[in-house]
Amino acid sequence: TDSPWRRRLLLVAVAIALYLAGIGTHWRVFPDSAKYLLPADSLSQGTGYAIHGHPHGKYPPGFPAYLALMQHLGMGGMVWLNALMTGMALATLWCGYRLLCEVTTRGSAVAVMLVAALSYEMYQLSGAQLSDIPFMLLVTAGLWSLTRTVRRGRGWLEFGSLALIASCWVRILGIPLAAGAAVGLVASWRASGHRLDRRRIALNAATIVAGAALTGLWLLQRDRAVQAASSAASYAAELSVLSFGSPVEWLWQPLLNAYFGGRSLARLLTGQYLPSALALVLLWLPIGVGAYQSARRRQFILLFAMAGYLAAIFLLRVPLARYLLPIAPGLILFPGFGLRRPGLRVAHRPASPTAPLV
Neighbouring CB atoms inside 10 A of 221's CB total 12
Q: In this structure, which amino acid lies at residue 155?
A: G
**Cα distances (angstroms) measured from residue 79 to each of 38, 85, 128, 129:** 17, 10, 11, 11
Q: Return the pLDDT at 265.
A: 93
Digit-coded pLDDT (tens) for 266-277: 999 888 899 999
Q: Please report, for residues 7, 46, 59, 310, 313, the alpha-carbon distance to residue 104 in angstroms, rounded to integers and kept in the order given.
A: 19, 48, 35, 22, 27
Task: Please give the C-alpha separations between residue 63 and each of 24, 142, 287, 323, in angstroms, as whole numbers.
Answer: 20, 17, 31, 16
pLDDT digits (tens, 9 = 90+) for 13-42: 888 899 999 888 888 888 788 889 999 999
Q: Grade residue 57 by pLDDT with cuts at 50, 70 and 90.
A: confident
**pLDDT of 307 strictly over 80:** yes
pLDDT of residue 64: 94
- Across residues 188-198, what is the average pLDDT? 79
Give 248-260 pLDDT, tens digit per residue: 777 888 899 999 9
CA–CA gap between residue 350 and residue 341 (Å, rounded): 9
